[in-house]
Structure 1
Amino acid sequence: MMNRQWRLQDAKTHLSQVVEGALHGTPQHITRRGKAAVVVLSEGEYARLIRNAQTSAPGFVAHLLAIPQEADTFEHGDVALRDVDFE
């Protein structure tokens, strides 16, 4: 089944059809003023997307371990220090 696109006013009028389409696995795209606004998904599809995002995203520890360990791998360039007046 193809994705369905609704104008906001039509989606309001036919909400039960929007929900039925989403429940049958077809994302329901809703536009507002001619521009894409939202997508209605079934709860099961939403849960699957969240689950996939959480399992594919690296954790904080993996992020820290990805930081280069050698001091010379980071280029500092020519940095000129300046005097700072704390008064």
Structure 2
Amino acid sequence: MNNSVTVAEIKRRGMAAIEEGLRRGPVHIIKRNKSAAVVLSEAEYLRLTGKGPSVAPGMTALQWLLTQPSAGTREKDDIDATLAEERNW
């Protein structure tokens, strides 16, 4: 584990010790000479849990938008009628 930080170093340097390590990837936290935890960047965590944006390399904004599931429940006719009412003021 070449990207590791000890608990003692975290106590001494605080979050700066972890942030420095995160620039090189996941950081292994060493406690009593054993790996106790791994700290990931937020982006890496979201990627691993599948909660992050699903962006493929080279994907345009329009392509990404078209891959998103629809969340609306209104029909097109209902939306058109509402817009027509709003425009007739």
Calculate the TM-score normalised by the size of structure 2.
Answer: 0.47
Q: Which has the higher contact order (CA 8 A, sep 6+)?
A: 1
Of the two, which has the highest radius of gyration?
1
